[in-house]
Every structure is written in C-alpha cells, then in structure tokens.
A and B are shown apart, each in its own frame.
Chain A
Amino acid sequence: MIIFYRRPSIAVESWQKLLRIMKLVILLLFTGIMQIHAAAYSQSTYNFNEQSISVKQMFKKIEKASKYTLFYRLDQVKLDEKIQVTVKDASIEEVMKQVLQNQVLGFQVMDGNIIVIKPLVEKNVADQTVTGVVTDASNLPLPGVTVKLKGSTIAVSTDLQGKYSISIPGASGILIFTFLGYTTQEIPVSGKTVINVKLVEESRSLNEVVVVGYATQKKKDLTGAVTVVNVADMNKTPSGSINEQLQGQAAGVTITGSGQPGQEPDIRIRGINTFGDNTPLYVIDGVPTTDVSTINPNDVENLQVLKDAGAASIYGSRASNGVIIITTKKGTGKVKIQYDAYYGTQVPKGGNVWNTLNPQQTADLKLEAEKNSGVTDFSDQQYGNGPTYVLPDYIEPAGAHNGDPSVNPSLYYINPNYTDPNDYNNFYRIVKANKTGTDWFHEIFKTAPIINNNISLSGGSDQGSYLFSANYYDQQGTLIDTYEKRYNIRSNSQYNVSKNFRVGENLSYTVTENPQVAINGPDAVIAHALREQPIIPVYDIMGNYAGGDGPGLGDAANPVAIQQRTKNDRYVGYRLFGNAFAELDIVKHFTLRTSFGGELGSSTYHSFQYPTYENAENSSVNQYNAGSTSNYDYTWTNTLTYHQTFGKHDVKVVVGTEANQNGGSDIGGSRQGYYSFDPNYVSLSTGYSGSASNYSDTYIKKSLFSYLGRVDYSYNDKYLISGLIRRDGSSVFVSQYGVFPAISAGWRISQENFMKNVSWLTDLKLRGGYGVMGNQTNPNSTNQYTQFSSSVGQSYYGIGGSNLVPGYYENFQGNPAARWEKDINSNIGIDATLFHDMLSVTIDYYRKDIRDLLFNPQLPGTNGNPGSPYVNIAAMNNRGIDASVTGNFKVNTDLKLNATLSLTTYNNKIIKVATDANYFDTDFGRRVGTNLVRNEVGNPVGEFFGYKVVGFWNSQAEIDAANAKAQKATGDPNAVYEQDIGLGRFKYADVNGDGQITDADRTFLGNPNPKFSTGFNLGVSYKHFDFSVFLYGVFGNKIWNNVKYWRDFYSSYQTAKSYTALNNSWTPQHMNAAAPIQELNSYFSTNAVANSYFVEDGSYLRAKNMVLGYTVSPDALKKIGVQKLKIYVSAANLFTITGYSGIDPELPGNSTTDFGVDEGTYPSSRTFLIGVNLSL
C-alpha cells in the first residue's frame, strides 16, 4: 500500500483543491511517470534561515509560508534527516533544492500550488515498453490483471483480451502480476519486450474463512487442529440429525449411530476423554450448547471441529471433549427461494436375520438338550411324550390338538382391558401354534417412509440480510410405533444500522415428536423380539395378543403388543434456540460485539401402561403418566476485537467476558385404577385418586463466568503464532476459577524462498500446539455438599406397622475439594496442498493427558450407599492420528472428480481410576452372572473381561487329567480344574497357571474401541450428472454379542434359539463345533459367566450413501424464472461388509465405560430416496 503524506489542513481547504489532489493521486498511481521540470513560474520569494532542521519540519514551514502543498511518498523521502536551509528572497525551486540537498530526489511544481517530490531518475535512460498477454491456466485471457513495476508506482491493467502495455524506465526491473483469486507472479524484465504470463488460480480452500473460537481465520493461517467439514457431503446422508450426518466426514471424530429416528448418536472427538459424558461442546452462531438434536441440517452453512487445545482452549472448561462450531446460513444478494425435499422409504433387513430355528427345530433342540442332560422320560406339555417331539395344534391349552374339547372357542374368555385381578384369574386362553414360525423381527420391523421438506427465503444488501427457513421432517421408524416428526422454523437476520453498527439475530424454533424405545438392553422391546419363541403367534384365536403364557414358552413378552400399546403415548419437545447480537466498530481496527443467546426448552409427555395378560409374567396395573419439563440455558458474550496489519505483521486480538447459566424444572404424576382405558378419557384427573403420585424437581443450576482472550499473529504470511487463554469460574467447584491457556504456532514452509520454485507444492504448513483444556460436564453444582434426603423407596418405613413414615438418609457424600479436570494436549500437524489445489493433505498427531479426571468411583462399602461425589482422582491418556486427503481432479470442463478420505485413530489408556482401587467393573445386570466390562489401569476404557475359552472338553480322560493336575497343585483330593467341568463344555484358560480356574483367571477379552475408523467420499460429475458415494468403515473393534447368550444356549431361559444351537453345538460326533453341548442347565463352564465365546470382531465397511443427481440446464430454466433445478435419487446403507454375526455391528446407546455390547440393537435400514433441489 502506498501511503501519502498530506497536509493535515487539507480537509478544510477548498473542494477544488481536494479534487486536484485526487487527480494527482490517480496520476501518481497509474502513470508513474514523473519528471522534474524546474520551470520557474514562481511569483513569490522566500526567506529561511534554518541551521539544523528535519526535512519534515522544513516541509511544514514551507507549506505554512507558501501556497504550496507538498506530495511525496513516505518510503522515498528521508524525513528525519537534519538539514541546513539558508536562503534569501529565493524562489521556491531554490528552497526545494536546498531542502532536498542530500537526497537523490527531484521535484516538480505543478498547477501552480502543488509540489511533487520524486526520486531523481536519470534522464538519459530511455523508457522501454513491455507488452504481453495474461492468461489463466487454460489459456483463457484474464482482463483486469494489475501489472506493476516492482518498487515503483508504475502500473497498468490488462484489457479485455488480457493484453497489457507498460512503459518502464530502462530494461531492467521486475514486473508483478496480481489478480484477485490468483497467485501473484513476479517476472524479471531482463530486456524482454514481450512477456506473456500464465496466472495460476489461487487455492480457494486455503483462503476459506474458518470460524474459530470468537474469531475467524483463513484456513491457511490456522495453527490449531481444526477439521473443516464439507457440509454438502454431510447433507447427503438422509437424517434429521447433524451428528448422524457428520459420521465419517471429519477426521478425528468417531460417531456411532443406530436406526432409531431421533436417537442422537454417540459422538467422540479424539477418543474417550472422561468416564462420564463425552459429548463435545457445540457452538452454534456463537452460542454454546450440548444439544444439536433440534438443529435443521439444511440450515447449516459451515461446520468446523476444533480438536486440540491450540484451537479449542478458548472454550476453556468445556473444551476437553472437543468443540464443534456451526454457523447457520445467512442471506446474500437478491431474493432467493430455495426448496429442498426428499421422500424415501426405509427397508429393514430381510431374511431370517437372527438365524432362528423354526418351531419343529426348536422342539428337536429341546429333546436333544434333555437327552444330553440325562433325561430319559420324555414328556412335554407342548410336544407330547416322545420319542420325537411333535408340534401341537394349540399352545394354549398346552399341547392341545384340533378337535380337543379344550379348544372349543366358546370356552374362550379374555378381557384385555381387565381391571380386577379376579377377572384375570378367570381368563381362558386359546392360542393356536404357529407351526411355520412367527418371524418376530419382521413383525416389529416394517418398511417405513421418510420425508424431508425444506424451504428457505433469503436475501441481502448493504442494509442488511435475512433468511427464513421452514423444515418439516418426518421419519417413521422401521420399528413400529417409533418415529420422529420435527417442525422447525428459522429466522436469521442482520440490520446494518450504520456503516459501523450492526444488529441481528439467529433464531430457530422446533417442535419435535419423538417417542423412542430403549435399545440394546436385555429387556428392551427388540430383546423381547429375539427371545420370543417362534411357535407363538402374534394374536390368539380371537385377535387378542398371544404370548408366552403357556408352559414352556419362555418369559419374553410379545414385542408387537409392547409397541402397539404405546400408540397413543405422546412425547413432544419444544425448543427455541438462538441469539441476538450487536456489533460496533468503535474506532478503526476495533470491534465491540455483544451477543445474548441460548435456549428455552420445554416438553410434555403422557403415556399409558396397559395391563398385560398374554405373557408368562404379566402386570395387572393400569397406569397413566403425564408430565412436563422446562429448561433454560443462556450465554451472554461480550468481546472486543482488534485487527490490524502493519507491513508484514498481522495482529488480531480478542478479549471478552462470558456468562452462562442453565437450569430448569419438571413436574408430573401418575394415577392408576382407570375405569376405561379410552385415550380420550384417561388423564391425571380421571384415575383413582388414592393411587395419585406426583413429583416436581428443580434442576440444579449450573453457572459459568469467564474471561477470555486470544492473540493471532502472523509475520509475512509465513510465521504464525496464536495464544489463547480463558479463565473460567464455575458453580460446580468451591474453588471456582481455573485457567486454560494454549499456544500454537505454524510455519508455512512453502512461503520460504527456498520452496518457491517447488511448483507442485502449493502450500505446506507445519503446525504445533500445546495447551490445557478443561472439563466440568460430569459433576453438578451440588457435588460439594453432603446431602440428606428422603424418599419412599429409600428411607420411609412403616415403623408403627400401618402407616408409612418418612425417614432421612445420606444420599450424597459431598466433595468440596473438587477442582477442574485438565486435558493437557499437544498436537503436531502438517497441512499440504499439492498441484494447485488438486490434492490436499492434513495429518495430525496428538496426545492428550487427562489429569485430575473427575470421576465418582464406587465408595468402599463401609461408607454405606450414598451417591459418590466426583473427585479428581482418575487419569487417562489418548494418542492418535487424524488424517484426511482431499483430491479435486478436473479432467475436462465436463468431467470432474473429487474424493475425500478421512482417517481417525485413537488409543485410549487408563492411567488411574482411584487412589485405592485400580479398576472398576461395569455392565452387570444382564443375565450372565458376572460383569462383562473391566476398566483397569493400563488398559483402554470399556474392555471386555472374563474367562477365556480355549476349547471344549472332548473326552473324560482329558477332564480327569486336568482334575488330577489341579489336585496335585492344590493338595486337595476333591479339587477340580474348573467348576462344572463336563464333556462338551468350555475349557477355560488357566491364566495364572495355578492349575485351577478361579476368579483370578479372568482376563481381558477384547477392546471395543476401534483401531481406526474411516470415511471415504467420492464424487464424479459429468455434464449435468453427478454421482457420489460415501463409505464408512470401522476397524479393529470387538463386540460383545450378548444375543448369543439367549440363542446359542438351550439353557438360557426358554427363548427362541439359533441354528448354531441345533446344528453347530458340541456333540461327541461333532467336536469341532461353535457352541458347547446343549443342556438343560447353565453352568460356570458354559453360559453362567462372562467368557470369550461372546466376543467377536466388530469391523465393518458400510456404503452410507450413494447419490445420483441430474441438474437441469440453467438455460432451459431461465425462461421460467428458475435458477437451478436438481433431481436426485439416493440409497443409504446399501450394503455393509462385516464378519460380525449380529444384525448390525454399529452399536450406540451405551455409556462411556460400557459399550459395544449387542443386546439386540435397532439396526440401520436401507433407505431409498428421491429428492429435488430447486432455486428460484
């Protein structure tokens, strides 16, 4: 930039004078020709006697004493040089000559009152004219390119044909070609008179503006680990959830979802950071939140993931799980209407998904198990008296056959809406056997539609901008009676009140109806479906539900009945989310911003529990439940931003404060004893008043107050350094404040001179960062208090024998000493852009050491049973690599290819769990009698734990030998190698080598954390067609397939069984089997304890989506006023390649310390869509 000095008083001079100056400036800028003619048309004479004066001072004196204004370039005139000026009645020319005595400068007096000072150019050097054509890489002419002689003001522009002609003094010098969006080139003249130049387009991605914490940066200036997600790719996954769409699109982010509508997936940024909640912080238009379930993915303009301290520490105490920054769309330009919609159908997996035996095979298996268990007298209530078992015609009355008087329909009596147990006791059920077998999976999983409609209206001018959008999303679940219906409107607007004052708002309001089922639990509806025997039909002879009520039919409940009984239940959530802001440029370089935002949420629900009658275990209760919740979360942010460039220095500073608070309350109740179950009748008022139960809670308020600051400095676009600091005060802690600093630096090696001629390397940057992030998500504000409480179940007692009396108990042991959890993070990364944006690569290696990890380890039992407080006791670390490679290949104007591969790895290790214990077990409460998961120091979180199966006991001799060894080792003549040792049962590994299987022989059986996960987007466009495919893969993780517990062992209750149990279990003739011998009882040596039989590899590769689109030619559309029209078809989850034997290897919905356990998940289904994008 050229800086001119002007007389300060110029502003008050006449308009004409200003005009003259402007003309002169233009002259100086664009001609660059400035010769000194010492023509004496001065009318005045001057007297000066200055012995030692600076040139600058002298100029001032001249301007004061004369009518002249002096013009010069600051970089050409040595203003501070001391000079002597002694003139008497001298002309202005004489004065000037003395002033400029020691400098190689000339001057020109123009228009009578302006003096221009210029370097003295040798007059005898002839001007030379250089001409040429400037084109782009594909040889198309580039008009408007600035061609400038380096070190001078001589500059011209290219014309429409890209031609230029420039006169320069002499044949040497360097010409600089600059054009916005293209890489600047410098070419030495070296006597040439024709210089043709090809300009290369500048990397767009490098100049992409990225929203980081409380500021924006160009991508090339980033020093922290930030993943910028391609929102267009993201939006291709048909889902209402941003998180679900994000799966596989961002290196460093691991996401595990399910097929259930509205179920937010588990999301982890760079592994597991805490034993509790690992949800990252989301910042939407500057407003922090942890819930993005209501955000319409169509509203997202851009999305960035801040992964390391260098990027995220500015969010201090909430940064440890990573930060996802989302900016919603804003209006620009003239009015635009955009309509996007798709309609699709979701198809559940076909076939016999659980490999269920048909009823006859089930009976055969029972017979085999009885034989294997030494039963000789075969008499079965359903299947007759042997020697083979025959399917009955009726399962209730048990074992009845057609024509039996007991199946006379006139005997039938069921009142499905019974209210009196005596009525229930008189039920007479008649249920036909379903001899072909009920396919319970497909009784509850059906093809279901998915619809998305989105319309937006936007525009903008220098007065401001606006965007309104409305969205209707309706996804019916493939599991009957599950769905998500979401209505969303958004208004984003900004008003430019004046040139330096702006106000605006971003608001969205969402109404969501989303009943969900528990998934992946042993008593969830899907688990019932896989347990319910196939001989049971869905309905009995009169169309009421059938179930396991008869003998030998198992204790599972009819899953169709479970779901259909929820039909009238309602769960509706309402959420207003957004912010309002004001921005003021207070003085040049300084901007003040205030933003107030957050959410107001509420929800209501009601549900009715019907009595059951069809199952082995029924409940006679009828109960109506209703309730509502309300919550708030606000954040008030005030920042001051300073941004200035001095020569090669660029400095940006942000300081600010932020206050955040959330809380809420809920209220609800229930009643029983309804006269009628009509959904229009039941309410909290119409049930039996004596059964009324109600509750209300105030949520524990959580507040944060923070000071924050960041400095981003770059030198010459080459050396980058960034410092962040945040001081957070939290209501969670007694010592409230913690400080979270981070520093990061980048070196753009490609800007160095020695790299300049490596032409294939567009950009190369080395980054490194170190800092501290915090976490306070898991404890709440009352963690510090020891608390006593009172509740019926816990502490009431009928002390007098008749009335219930309240009592008190210690329900929480406080820990006032808790302080911040710290995530000490280092990151080193490389960003490279190759072949002019054709290929870009980002690789990051990170290490996170989580210290003072807040964990609430189980208290020693001698403490009793109060809730255990969070204490800064545990530690863990994560290491890993995130990498992504993006390629853009333009084969020709018609055919373009782009591909992105992202890779995520994390390696988690527990360093400490408590002062005392070095492990804690999780995941009990399933039917296997021991915990499945042990979180132990030195191992990753969530690792499976139990006995390792090394084979079967194939002969009595083998058993005797093992027992003999055990007897020798223990000196006990009754000792056995393993409990319940027996032919065809599992042989466990003697891990500690003591000759016996004991508790101490349990060992780690597999890690549910993946070795790596990867996403691959491939896009091809040819003329009007485009095609894309997105593959997602997870590799190296183990799954605990607990479905096998129910189905591969005859002895695991009387559930539906698998082919494995019948056809691939141990028999003396089939020792090379998968499952052990089928017996009536469960044993330590079969399925009574956690063992490695259940552990499988969980790797998979899935085609998450494929899209084929056709864009109608814009020319054809212009006539009807349409700007763009695209039609597409897409398929989601088209195929999955996996060795996992369960229905879906993707298993969400578990806790941090207890995941990868399959109890019957809600699988993702194939989805086929047709969609349209229309712009007006």
Chain B
Amino acid sequence: MMSILNISNMKTSRYMIMLMTIGLVTLNYSCKKDYLVTPQVGTISPTLLQTKPGVDGLLVGAYSALRGVQADGTAFGGLDSWQSSPDNWVYGGVAGGDAHKGSNAGDQDPIASIAVFSPLASDPYFNTKWIADYEGITRCNNTIRAATKTPGYSATDLANILGQARFLRGHYYFDLKKMFNNVPWIDETTVDVLQPNTTDIWPKIEADFLYAYNNLPATQSDAGRANKWAAGAYLGKTYLYEKKYAEAKAVFDPVITQGQTSNGLAYALVAKFHDNFNADTKNNSESVFAIQALANVDPGGITQANDGDRLNYPYGASSPFDCCSFYQPTIDLVNHYRTDPATGLPYLDNFDSHAIKTDMGLLSSVSFTPDAGTIDPRLDWTVGRRGIPYLDWGLHPGNDWIRDQGFSGPYSPIKHVYTQAEQNTNGDQHSWGPGSAVNYCVIRFADVLLMAAETEAQLGNLQTAENYVNMVRNRAANPNGFVFQYLDNTNPTGGVSTTPAANYLVNPYPTGTFVGQGSAYALKAIYYERQLELAMEGHRFFDVVRWGIAGPALNAFLQYEGNITSDITGGHFTTGRNEYYPIPQAQIDLEVKSGKSVLKQNPGYN
C-alpha cells in the first residue's frame, strides 16, 4: 500500500505544489493590510479643504444653505423643500395672516395647524426648519475652522472670510431665534453639540453681526456676498428685535446714509416697486441682502430657483403653472390696500370695513368687474386678483386659477412669480413644480427704512420716522411703477398701455402728521406700512410678535377671515404660547443626556 501511495504521490505532489503555491500567494496578497483599506471615494477629506480655494468653497457652501434644500424638492433633513423655504412663507406669512395655506383640505395639513395656531411639537415642519438652520450654522462653523487652519491669508482677507461666515451664522441664528426663541448655541469651538437652550442667544447674534460689520469691506467680489452694510442692517434689525433702539439708531443711520450694496450701488429705493421682484433687476440698489436665485442651472431640478416656493403658483385647468395654489393672500391683507380717496392714506383701523370687492363664490365663467375704489398700487404687485393683469400672464381669471376658493379665498401670490416672456429663462420647469429666478431679499432697503422709522418713533423722533415712511410711500406712488392694462387682453405679452389697471391712489403722510398725532399713531402707521410694503415676504408673523400685538391682531384677523373662508375657522392665537413655535419634539427626544433632554420645550407646548 505504501508503494501505491508513492506512485500516485509523484502526480499528487505536482498538483499539491501548484495549489499550495496559489494558496500562499493568495494568503500573502490578501493579508496585506491594503486589501482591507478602502479610500474615500468621490468625496474630500476635511484637511484637503484647508486651502484658499477650499475655504472659499466651504463659504459658498455656507451661502448655499440659505436655500434650505439639499436636492430637488427636498429640504435639509430629507422632507419637503417648502418646510424650510427661506422666505418663511409658512411661518411668517401664513401664520401672520398674509396668506392662506391654500390648495385644498388635507394638502399639507401641518400648515393648516400652524395657521390656526394649534401647532404640534411633533409636526415634522419644525424639525425640518430646525435642521435647515443648523445645517447653515454647521457650514459656517466648518468654514471658520478651515479658514483659521489655512495658511497664507492676509489679515483683511481672513477677516473678510470670517466676517461673511459669521454674518451667515448670525442670519441662521436670527431665523431660529425668531422662530423658536430658546435655541442652543453651537459655534466653531463647540465640541459637544448637545447644548441647552436656556441661555438667550441675542448677545451671540449681536456679536456675530458686529464682527461682520466691523470687519467686512463695503464692496465684495460677488453681488451675492454679505458686506459691511448688510451686516450693519442686520445688526440694526437685531437691536430692534431686542428693543435696543439707541443702539439700533446708531447703526441704521450710517447704513442709510453711507450704505451700499456689495456690487457698489449706494442704497436707494428702486424707482419701480416691482423691480424688487423681477429676476432681471435683481441685486439692485435696494437689495441689502438677498438669496440668489438662478433658473435652469440644475438639470436635476429647481434647487437654485426658489424650490421652497414651488407650491405657490396659480393652479387649475387654465393655469399655465404646474403647481399648486398654495400661499394665497388673504382677503384681510388685500383690504389693507384700500386708500382713502380723499387723502390717499390707508384706513389704519377700519380697513376691513372698506373691503375690496372679491369674486368669492363666482365661477370664472360668470362675469365680474373689479373694485373701482382707490387702492394702493402695491396691491397688484403683491396679490393676483380677478380681472387685473397678472404680470404678463393675462388677466387673472379668478376661480379657474384657484384650487378651492371656498377653502382659501380668491387670490394668488405674485412676488416670486416669473413673467411669461421670461418663462424659459427666469422660469424653471425642471421639476414637478415651477421654479423662478426671482431673488428673495432677506433685507431690502425699504425694510431698513421702515425699521429705522420704527426705531426713530420709539426714540421719539417722529418726524424722522415720518420721513422714512414717506420715502417708501412716495416710491409706491410713482405712476411709472403701477400695473397697467394690457394693450390687448388676448395677447398679454404684447405690451401694456398707459392706463392703470385699477384706481390707484397712494400719498405720503402730510408733513407733521406723526408729530401731530403722537407716537402711538406713528407706530401704528409704521406697522401698517410695513405690512403693505413687505406683505408676502415672510415677515408679518415675526413683526406682530415683536410688536407685542400678535394676540389682538391675529385673533381679529382670524375672526374676520374665518367667516369668509373655511380653512381657518375656529383658529385662535393664545398669548403666552403662540408667540413662538414649539421646539421640535424630535430634537428634544434626540438630545438626551443621562436620561434627560438638554432641550426645554417652549411654554404652553408641554
């Protein structure tokens, strides 16, 4: 037997040597540590970004977060883009009475809860908004960290980068502060991101804007970058929110007199009101700080084109837009634009009793004549209403462009909408909802003037305040800036006549009115002017809260409007609770340390 084995052994050993060699080679090859190491693929390591172009890219990323979206239709955090829309149309507009949720019942129900002031802490909208702002903050912090580790910067260059990053961080925190009031502070030095929300962060926001104000240059290489004056305006706004009027005046004064845009235009109101909402006239002299919108630059969607406003276009069988009749201005808002035919001034108290005629309950096929009374011309650049040219899209047909009139009224939004002539350039059809190249101005000069007016009024300088308000009203009164009738209603892109589309009348307050009527009147007039000028720009709710009039103002609105449309019937603003939104329950539950959340819920939401 041994010999049998020996005979076959010769053959066997050949194979064996072969196999074992292969095996050993494998073993050697595989045992190499490299075999089990996979490098980063298609991404960049943090240290690779510690170069000048890297830092600038991080800074651009920090700006980019202003849009609130991570992909087409998708907000940071993965939910819908409109939940973190930077114009705050839900949290500042719908909640403030500027607009209805719109669409029909059941569509985006969390907004309905917000509109009637019964928000739930578990509402995913708040969580999305929270994540979007902290993503912006994280990008600012990453920029600051990388910049300070990158060699070769001059002191001014570094200060410019840090200034922009801190300006943006200030913006994101400001947004959080006005939404949630009690929020944790995370900056470039924070190691543990589980921080309590019990310390007021106003001083930190101030510090960021102050640094930016002191360190940023007056002009920048790109129009979209924040400069010294944008920082000044935002710093003034911060002081105003804190009711630090003297400090606010100290910064508003130079902003108004010396301020200029990043592209070197001295701050001034543009002649035509609508130029603020026209993609072709973006970054003009009124644009203090704007979120840059570009259409048709992302084949994957409308991420750069006001993605968060994609729902907010006229909708219906004859509407040229794909989506979706949200953000419909309220009847109450429209009534504000009634002017006294004798004075051209607004009805500060009883605007609703001078209501502007609506087409509620009328089908588009039933004829309708628009209101013939005197109206502030800004209305028709703010609200699309039946029978009035809707940009160059034709006369607004009323019900045909409204998804559910009985639910949310007869009006359409307009400020972010592109024109028909530019639908292929400034309109963006790369997604299921439209995109637009109209910039959203976080702060525009009219806003600065009205904030300054408020500051002056609070400080007792009523004439200065009146002058600022009248600057804004005078611009509105410029007849060149009115909405005009079409030359041919069947060919709306064929140009407009010189006939105003409605009976427009707006006049400045006669000199001395504020002084004569006293500061309470002055403030009321300023507040009212803010609503007219900045309607549908996402400020309203935060303004009424800041003024301390949210309860009476919003409950009066709910009372009035709730009797006309069905969507907000029964809504009630509870003072002491609804001034701020609930801290997202998801975040409270995530930020637990030794069994206890480091985040405290806002009053009234427990």
- Interface residues in chain A, defined as those with a beta carbon under 8 Å from any beta carbon in chain B: 8, 11, 373-375, 377, 379, 381, 396, 398, 421, 424-425, 497-501, 549-551, 555, 582, 584-588, 592, 594, 616-621, 636, 638, 657, 659, 661, 670, 672, 691-693, 697-705, 729-731, 736, 781-782, 785-802, 804-812, 857-866, 914, 916-919, 921, 924-925, 927-931, 974, 979-980, 999, 1002, 1049, 1051-1054, 1080-1082, 1084, 1087-1089
Closest A residue to B424 using CB positions = A421
A11-B1, A807-B58, A919-B589 known; A979 vs B45 contact (CB < 8 Å):
no
A421-B429, A501-B15, A705-B30 known; A795 vs B106 contact (CB < 8 Å):
no
Closest B residue to A377 using CB positions = B361
Residues of chain B within 8 A of A918, CB atoms compared: 589, 592
- B128-162 CB contacts (< 8 Å) to partner A: 130-132, 134-139, 142
9 further interface pairs, Cβ-Cβ under 8 Å (given A582-B19, A804-B304, A1080-B407): A657-B26, A788-B46, A793-B74, A797-B292, A808-B60, A861-B77, A861-B590, A864-B137, A925-B79
Task: Mark interface residues in B1-39 (1 if CB within 8 Å of A CB, else 0).
Answer: 111010010011001100110110011011100011110
Of B22, B41, B222, the most chain A CB neighbours within 10 A belong to B41
A703-B38, A794-B70, A860-B194 known; A549 vs B317 contact (CB < 8 Å):
yes
Tell me whether B113 and A801 are in contact (CB under 8 A): no
Tell me whether A425 and B320 are in contact (CB under 8 A): yes
Residues of chain A within 8 A of B315, CB atoms compared: 616-617
Tell me whether A550 and B317 are in contact (CB under 8 A): yes
Q: Tell me whether B348 is interfacial, beta carbon within 8 Å.
A: no
Q: Tell me whether B297 is interfacial, beta carbon within 8 Å.
A: yes
Tell me whether B106 and A1088 are in contact (CB under 8 A): yes
Residues of chain B within 8 A of A396, CB atoms compared: 317
- B283-314 CB contacts (< 8 Å) to partner A: 283, 292-294, 297-301, 303-304
B423 to chain A minimum Cβ distance, whole angstroms, is 6
Tell me whether B574 and A500 are in contact (CB under 8 A): no
A237 to chain B minimum Cβ distance, whole angstroms, is 38
B605 to chain A minimum Cβ distance, whole angstroms, is 8
What are 17 pairs between A and B in contact, CB < 8 Å?
A: A377-B361, A421-B429, A621-B430, A701-B41, A703-B36, A729-B36, A788-B44, A798-B294, A798-B297, A807-B63, A809-B64, A862-B195, A862-B587, A865-B77, A930-B120, A979-B118, A1081-B566
Q: Tell me whether B247 is interfacial, beta carbon within 8 Å.
A: no
A794-B70, A929-B113 known; A861 vs B297 contact (CB < 8 Å):
no
What separation, in Å, do the CA atoms of A647 and B5 have in the docked complex? 23
For the complex of A and B, the 8 pairs showing the least CB-CB separation, nearest first, are A864-B138, A807-B60, A781-B38, A807-B61, A693-B299, A787-B43, A797-B64, A1082-B106
Residues of chain A within 8 A of B590, CB atoms compared: 857-861, 914, 916-917
- Interface residues in chain B, defined as those with a beta carbon under 8 Å from any beta carbon in chain A: 1-3, 5, 8, 11-12, 15-16, 19-20, 22-23, 26-27, 29-31, 35-38, 40-46, 48-49, 54, 57-67, 69-72, 74, 76-77, 79-80, 104-110, 112-113, 118, 120-124, 127, 130-132, 134-139, 142, 184, 186, 193-195, 221-225, 263, 282-283, 292-294, 297-301, 303-304, 315-317, 320, 322-324, 361, 363, 399-400, 406-407, 423-424, 429-432, 439, 566-567, 570, 572, 574, 584-587, 589-593
A861 to chain B minimum Cβ distance, whole angstroms, is 5
Residues of chain B within 8 A of A930, CB atoms compared: 120, 122-124
Tell me whether B40 and A785 are in contact (CB under 8 A): yes
Other-chain residue from A586, A621, A864, A921 in contact with B12 (beta carbon distance below 8 A): A586
Residues of chain A within 8 A of B138, CB atoms compared: 810, 863-866
Residues of chain B within 8 A of A638, CB atoms compared: 22-23, 26-27
The number of A-B residue pairs with CB atoms under 8 Å apart is 364
Tell me whether B42 and A698 are in contact (CB under 8 A): yes
A961 to chain B minimum Cβ distance, whole angstroms, is 19
Residues of chain B within 8 A of A555, CB atoms compared: 324
What separation, in Å, do the CA atoms of A379 and B292 have in the docked complex? 44
Other-chain residue from B2, B19, B121, B439 in contact with A592 (beta carbon distance below 8 A): B19
What separation, in Å, do the CA atoms of A8 and B320 have in the docked complex? 102
Tell me whether A916 and B61 are in contact (CB under 8 A): no
Residues of chain A within 8 A of B67, CB atoms compared: 797
Closest A residue to B588 using CB positions = A917
What separation, in Å, do the CA atoms of A807 and B566 have in the docked complex? 45
What separation, in Å, do the CA atoms of A657 and B567 have in the docked complex? 68
What separation, in Å, do the CA atoms of A1080 and B408 have in the docked complex? 12
What separation, in Å, do the CA atoms of A704 and B67 have in the docked complex? 42
What separation, in Å, do the CA atoms of A71 and B225 have in the docked complex? 104
Tell me whether B38 and A731 are in contact (CB under 8 A): yes
Residues of chain B within 8 A of A692, CB atoms compared: 299
A263 to chain B minimum Cβ distance, whole angstroms, is 24
Tell me whether B134 and A864 are in contact (CB under 8 A): yes
Residues of chain A within 8 A of B193, CB atoms compared: 860, 862-863
Tell me whether A806 and B60 are in contact (CB under 8 A): yes
A592-B19, A785-B45 known; A792 vs B303 contact (CB < 8 Å):
yes
What separation, in Å, do the CA atoms of A619 and B41 have in the docked complex? 35
B586 to chain A minimum Cβ distance, whole angstroms, is 7
Residues of chain A within 8 A of B593, CB atoms compared: 916
Residues of chain A within 8 A of B299, CB atoms compared: 670, 672, 691-693
Other-chain residue from A587, A862, A980 in contact with B570 (beta carbon distance below 8 A): A980
Tell me whether A551 and B317 are in contact (CB under 8 A): yes
Residues of chain B within 8 A of A586, CB atoms compared: 12, 16
Tell me whether A795 and B44 are in contact (CB under 8 A): no
B568 to chain A minimum Cβ distance, whole angstroms, is 10
Residues of chain B within 8 A of A699, CB atoms compared: 41
A793-B303, A804-B304 known; A499 vs B432 contact (CB < 8 Å):
no
Closest A residue to B430 using CB positions = A621
Tell me whether B37 and A862 are in contact (CB under 8 A): no
Tell me whether A501 and B430 are in contact (CB under 8 A): no
Tell me whether A793 and B44 are in contact (CB under 8 A): no
What separation, in Å, do the CA atoms of A859 and B78 have in the docked complex? 13
What separation, in Å, do the CA atoms of A861 and B592 have in the docked complex? 13
Other-chain residue from B5, B43, B118, B184 in contact with A1084 (beta carbon distance below 8 A): B118
Tell me whether A862 and B30 are in contact (CB under 8 A): no
B305 to chain A minimum Cβ distance, whole angstroms, is 10
A731-B36, A863-B193, A865-B77 known; A799 vs B43 contact (CB < 8 Å):
no
Residues of chain A within 8 A of B57, CB atoms compared: 790, 795, 806-808
Closest B residue to A813 using CB positions = B138
Residues of chain A within 8 A of B223, CB atoms compared: 800-801
A499 to chain B minimum Cβ distance, whole angstroms, is 7
Residues of chain A within 8 A of B15, CB atoms compared: 497, 501, 582, 584
Tell me whether A864 and B139 are in contact (CB under 8 A): yes
Other-chain residue from A790, A792, A801, A1082 in contact with B297 (beta carbon distance below 8 A): A792
Other-chain residue from A620, A917, A1082 in contact with B109 (beta carbon distance below 8 A): A1082
Other-chain residue from A582, A700, A808 in contact with B49 (beta carbon distance below 8 A): A808
Residues of chain A within 8 A of B283, CB atoms compared: 801
Other-chain residue from A549, A618, A698, A791 in contact with B41 (beta carbon distance below 8 A): A698
Residues of chain B within 8 A of A498, CB atoms compared: 8, 11-12
Closest B residue to A787 using CB positions = B43
A168 to chain B minimum Cβ distance, whole angstroms, is 32
Of A377, A859, A865, the most chain B CB neighbours within 10 A belong to A865
Of A377, A379, A659, A918, the most chain B CB neighbours within 10 A belong to A659
Residues of chain B within 8 A of A862, CB atoms compared: 134, 184, 186, 193-195, 587, 591
Residues of chain A within 8 A of B20, CB atoms compared: 592
Residues of chain B within 8 A of A864, CB atoms compared: 76, 131, 134-139
Tell me whether A865 and B106 are in contact (CB under 8 A): no
Tell me whether B123 and A929 are in contact (CB under 8 A): yes
A864-B134, A865-B131, A924-B79 known; A705 vs B320 contact (CB < 8 Å):
no
What separation, in Å, do the CA atoms of A809 and B71 have in the docked complex? 13
A1042 to chain B minimum Cβ distance, whole angstroms, is 13
Residues of chain A within 8 A of B439, CB atoms compared: 801
What separation, in Å, do the CA atoms of A1062 and B44 have in the docked complex? 58
B563 to chain A minimum Cβ distance, whole angstroms, is 11
A793-B69, A864-B134, A1052-B106 known; A702 vs B42 contact (CB < 8 Å):
no
